[in-house]
Chains A and B, each alone.
Chain A
Amino acid sequence: MSRENATVFSGASRYVLDEELAKIVNISMALEMPLLLKGEPGTGKTMLAHAIAESLSMPLLVLNVKSSLKLIEALYQYDTLTRLNDSRFGDSSREVSNIEEYIRMGKIGQAFVSDIKTVLLIDEIDKADTDFQDDMLDVLDQMEFDIMEIDKTVKARTRPVIIITSNAKKDLSDPFLGRCNFHHIAFPDQDMMRRILNVHFPSVDQELLDICVRTFYKIREFQGIEKRPATRELINWVRALRADPDFRPKDLLQGKIPFLGILFKKSSDYHQATQQTRRLRI
């Protein structure tokens, strides 16, 4: 690992980073390749990009991928409606004959035209179709795209640090994978989870923490749950438990689990969970 490289990532204030992932991030930055992160929801894939941006003090641009998203929208948008409106009423300061004034950069476009290096997070790439995925990587490979309406090529001034996340069980296409580095973040084990909680609650009672974590991992094993609670839910749950003056940690051991609604957010899951907690013994 080249230590002289000024931009070496080593974790942020609220993100517990394991050494392996730190190395992977640094290798990807050095090779200037996008890093594809897979893993269950709640393993901190999205948080990683936030943490990198924070620790290297770079601006973060988030492209939330939707299934209906077209590549061009991620690059730029030609605001025809405003132009039409301006040409009709003519009360804006924009020059109607200058189309460039109506071009707005999308997230990828913003990352390209930014003067300083940015972190570009492309979240949940698996929601888009394969064509989008491959075309997007073409753009990211070449670091330039054309704006058809004004016949102009936008070249990236700096190569952004690109983090791509995917929740998909199935693999992405081969050409896509070929252009990315890959890492799979496993769901944190109990020790790691305690460390994560300690970062979020520096003054927490260790016994409470221990019981909460054990209960949480039991609860995660419930059958037939659609959305299993993840780190985010656990943190909120611990926060709620600490705020409740009536709560005794021993209740958890007897299967009395308050605030299930924080852990299970779908009504059918909540229903399942209430039924199954009755049989729960830690």
Chain B
Amino acid sequence: MFVDFFYILRDSGIPVSPTSFLRLHQALAEGLVSNLDDFYIAARTLLVKSERFFDIYDRVFAHFFKGAELPDFKGVELEAAALELLNEWLKHPEALANALGMSKEKLQSMKPEELLKYFMDRLKEQTGEHHGGSKWIGTGGTSPVGHSGYHPGGMRVGGVSMNKSAVKVAMDRRYRDYSIDTPLTQAQMGEALKRLRRMVPEGPRDQVNVEETIRATTRNAGEIEIVFDRSLRDRLKIILMIDNGGWSMDPYIEVVQTLFNYARAQFKDVKSFYFHNTIYDYVWEDPPRRYKGQRVVDFASWDKDTRLVIVGDASMAPYELMATDGSIHIEERSGLPSIDRLHLLSKLFAHSAWLNPTPKRIWPMTRTIGVVASVFPMFELTLDGLERAVTHLMSKN
């Protein structure tokens, strides 16, 4: 009975276990379900174990029992799909087309929202891959959306930057030279791990050690002497935020991740998020920073004792940090400058540190490093810096 229902649920991505399906039959057999409404509730409470799947369940249920059309759950939202499609496309950029259609003034006057709409509209019209021209989206041309187009205030939708006027993207790669010698390498992993091991909190001496107490008491001729041990403290939770934007960061991402993965056992939880240059409304759980966003304001409900470790070169154009619409990515512009978000994070997590892979001697040359360092205590991503970061993270206040 309802075996099809079970399989449709599974195919739609809800992890339904056979045991729970049998339990549903037990409920049916015991006469706990007398009508469809009961069945809806009973099947959901028994089969679906997370509210994230409730919506899918509803739609599958409607499809199965009311004949409603079953949506394709594998499909993503149109906008995400559009970005994805375009990104794929732009991996093979051709030489810039010379065609000019829209005037520079007109392009400049368009607002980000208009650009996005323009982009979506074009995308709906477009049926074939396209390079150049002034209306369609492709890898060249002057359409304000798309990539490598010449647009003074345009937004960027992926691909490698080519045209200088895409000012934000140019900033991504400005510090490539700094990455020649990697401060922390795979070879130093063992040493670095030793330093991380110190991140274990100690509780007060408030637990009676029974065996030691008995021993001490007998040695004391029966006069009770109680021996206390340090009580175990809960292990630390770690949030790791990694700048995986420009390739200046590439050599360090793996090192840092491997490091914390090796050390995972001693932490209660290690969560990694990604961002590009600096943090706006969202950080992302997936390295391409596209699908699983985590709102920065929602960190308010996380455990305050979590240690926040941010890894990034903190090098960017000053306005990316200060301007209200500094984000390269249009969907993250909420009107708050990034610096506000950084301040919020530093307030939410009392214990935080910023690890910077660029050598300390060149920090004064980049203004944004100074600004970020005034928000988060900044340490070099070297063995020495790591050691001091750990000391800082473990200090009481």
B300 A177 Cβ-Cβ under 8 A: no
Residues of chain A lying within 8 A (CB to CB) of residue B347:
268
Cα A27 to Cα B27 in complex, Å, equals 8
Interface members, chain B 5-29 (any A CB < 8 Å) = 15, 17, 19-20, 23, 26-27
Question: Which B residues are in CB contact (< 8 Å) with A33?
Answer: 23
Q: Does A171 belong to the interface (CB within 8 Å)?
A: yes
Could you tell me if A226 and B45 are in contact, using CB atoms closer than 8 angstroms?
no
A30 to B116 Cα, complex, angstroms: 54
Q: Quick check: is A135 within 8 A (CB to CB) of the other chain? A: no
Flag if B30 contacts A2 (CB, 8 Å).
yes
Does the CB pair A84–B217 fall under 8 Å?
Answer: yes
**B46 and A226 within 8 A (CB):** no
Cβ of A276 under 8 Å from chain B: no
- B232 near A68 with CB under 8 A, answer yes
In the complex, A24 has a CB within 8 A of chain B: yes
- Are the C-beta atoms of A171 and B301 separated by less than 8 Å? no
Given A24-B41, A30-B30, the answer on whether A226 and B300 have CB atoms closer than 8 Å is yes
Least distance between A90 CB and chain B CB atoms (Å): 12
Docked Cα-Cα span, A182 to B57, in Å, equals: 13
Min CB distance, B173 to chain A, in Å?
A: 33
Contact A177 B49 (CB under 8 A): yes
Tell me whether B301 and A226 are in contact (CB under 8 A).
yes
A1–B37 Cα gap in the complex (Å)? 11
Taking residues whose C-beta sits less than 8 angstroms from the other chain, chain B's interface range is 35 or more
Q: How large is the interface on A (under 10, 10 to 19, 20 to 34, 35 or more residues)?
A: 35 or more
List of B residues within 8 angstroms of A2 by Cβ: 30-32
Report yes or no: B42 in contact with A23, Cβ–Cβ below 8 A.
Answer: yes
With A31-B27, A180-B49, A224-B300 given, is the CB distance from A88 to B32 under 8 Å? no
- The answer to whether B51 and A27 have CB atoms under 8 Å apart is no
Q: Is B54 an interface residue (CB 8 A)?
A: yes
Residues of A within 8 A of B181 (CB): none
Decide if A224 touches B297 in the complex (CB within 8 Å): yes
Given A24-B45, A68-B232, list of 19 further CB < 8 A pairs? A1-B34, A20-B41, A23-B38, A24-B41, A30-B27, A35-B45, A68-B233, A68-B234, A129-B268, A171-B49, A171-B52, A178-B19, A181-B45, A184-B54, A223-B297, A224-B297, A225-B300, A226-B301, A226-B348
Which of B's residues lie within 8 Å of A, judged by CB?
15, 17, 19-20, 23, 26-27, 30-34, 38, 41-42, 45-46, 48-52, 54, 208, 210, 213-214, 217, 222, 224, 226, 231-234, 268, 297, 300-301, 344, 347-348
* 6 A-B pairs with C-beta separation under 8 A: A20-B41, A27-B42, A68-B232, A88-B222, A177-B49, A224-B297
Top 5 nearest A-B pairs (CB, nearest first) are A184-B51, A177-B49, A226-B300, A67-B234, A181-B45
